[in-house]
Structures are given as C-alpha cells and as structure tokens.
Amino acid sequence: MPAIGVGDITLHYEESGRGAPVLLIPGTAARGRTWALHQVPALTAAGYRTITLDNRGAGRSGPAAPGLTVDHLVADAIAVIERVAEGPCRLIGTSMGAYVVQELLLARPELVTQAVLMASRARPDAVSQALAAADRAMAGAGVTLPPEYDAVTRALLNLSPRTLEDPQSAQDWLDILEVSPTDWAGPGMRAHLDVVLDTDRRAAYQGIRVPVLVLSFGDDLVAPPARGRELADAIPQARYVRIADAGHYGYLEQPAAVNDAILGFFAAA
C-alpha cells in the first residue's frame, strides 16, 4: 500500500483505475478498504481514479495522538489531494469522513470540484451527543466486549430493519461484524471518538459554494434523515437524496442505489 508522510505520521492509501480522481474518506476508525467492495468498482468502471484513505489512527496509517481534531484530519486530506490526486478532485465521505469533507469545503474549497456527504449532519442533537459520550466512556473504561455482543449491538445500531428481517442477510452481517470487533481499547479508536460535530455548523455551511450531494439513509439511527435534510438545506444549492431500507452502513447495504446517486451527481457537473 503506498503512503505519504505528513509531519510525524504516515498516511496509507490505495489507488484504482484511471481518470479524474475521487478521494474517499471513511468513518470513525474505519479503513479505506471499506469502499473497495462496492464504491471503488462502480467508480473505476465509470472511468474515475479512486483514492481510498486510511485516516491517521486507522488501518496502516498512524499514529493518532490524544487531542485529535477534525482540523488534523482535514489537513491530512488536503495533503493527499495535493500530493496524490495532484490537484482539485471529487470527494466522498461518510459519517466522520463526511464531517472532514464538510470542513475541508470551507478551508480549501479550491481543491474540490464536487463532494458527496453521506450519513452526516450539520448540528448535534441530544441523542448524538449522548452516543458520543457513551462511546468515549466505553473506550475510557478499557472494557473488551465479547465479539458476539459487539456484533449484535453494531447490527442493531447501524443496519436497517429490512436487512435484519431477512434471516440470511442478518446472519451474514453478524458473521462479518463478529470477526471484525470494535477495538475500544485501541489508541486510534480513542482519538477518533473525540472527532465529533459538537456545535451547530449550519451558519458556517451557508458559505459552501462547491457542488454538494447529501445522501441520507432512511433507517439511520446515528445520522437520521432529518439531520441530513438540515445539512442539505444549510448548503446553498446542495442536492439531497434519501436512500430507503438502509441504516448508517447504507453505502454497504444499498450499494446500487448509493452508487447510482453518486455517479448521476458526478455526471451532471
């Protein structure tokens, strides 16, 4: 896996395809390879060059020191755009990755031609703040959950009831989640859990002038569609699409619908 140095850390990334570059930024403590199953093949087949990033503290990138902020991750993404994409490119982010993209659109808009924000929001609410605090408490307690319990709780929080109602689909997801348990004690996870949207950014996002597509997932408990709608409304001329029968992992649950929305938005530029 290729890498670049940024200060005292190394950022690892993977590239596929040829054409106009698209940088894909994953969510909290996730690896760039989460895009490889569905989004990378669709984008490369459509003639794009994909760059999937391991954020600092995740995958082979690191380390993520205590006190990590969204500004650190924005600076990392800027380095990848300038040194790997070698100029302005399209961006896709989900969850925490979308938050990074949102802030990058304000910090360095000239580096972005189009942006897709998935499973995101423009302001916190009571539930999102409580969830963030609970996650930090879990990480701070040094507790290791049994993989079976971790898998079930993640499935209930991140997947659509439609997915869980199908016995085979539910079992497939539980098997996948059980063999990749949450590393609550890992320093990368602890650092990433501090990168949360904890202030109302709607007024700031009114200054975004880059073309944006906001994608919400109909059954998302972490970033409900109402929060995604608010985000789209805050960004001048942003497009909004709601994907049905999908939870917070909607880009993996409903990849065809997600990919169609992304490619249609890109083609309309």
pTM of the model as a whole? 0.97
* Single-letter amino acid, residue 77: A
- Residues 198-203 have a mean pLDDT of 98
Place 1 in a pLDDT band, splitting at 50, 70 and 90. Answer: confident
Q: What are 63's two structure tokens?
A: 């380390």
pLDDT per position as a tens digit, 146-182: 999 999 999 999 999 999 999 999 999 999 999 999 9
**Predicted pLDDT of residue 185:** 86
| Other CB atoms within 10 A of residue 11 CB | 24
In the chain, the domains with their CATH numbers are 3-124+199-267 (3.40.50.1820)
**Predicted pLDDT of residue 62:** 86
Q: What is the C-alpha separation between 225 and 240, in angstroms, rounded?
A: 10
- C-alpha closest to that of 73 among 192, 246, 216: 192
What are the backbone angles phi and psi of residue 151, rounded to the nearest 5°? -65, -45
| Residue recorded with tokens 């009114």 | 206
Which residues are tagged catalytic?
Answer: 95, 220, 248
- C-alpha closest to that of 198 among 248, 140, 135, 132: 132
Q: Are 233 and 241 spatial neighbours (Cβ–Cβ below 8 Å)? A: no
pLDDT per position as a tens digit, 201-224: 999 999 999 999 999 999 999 999
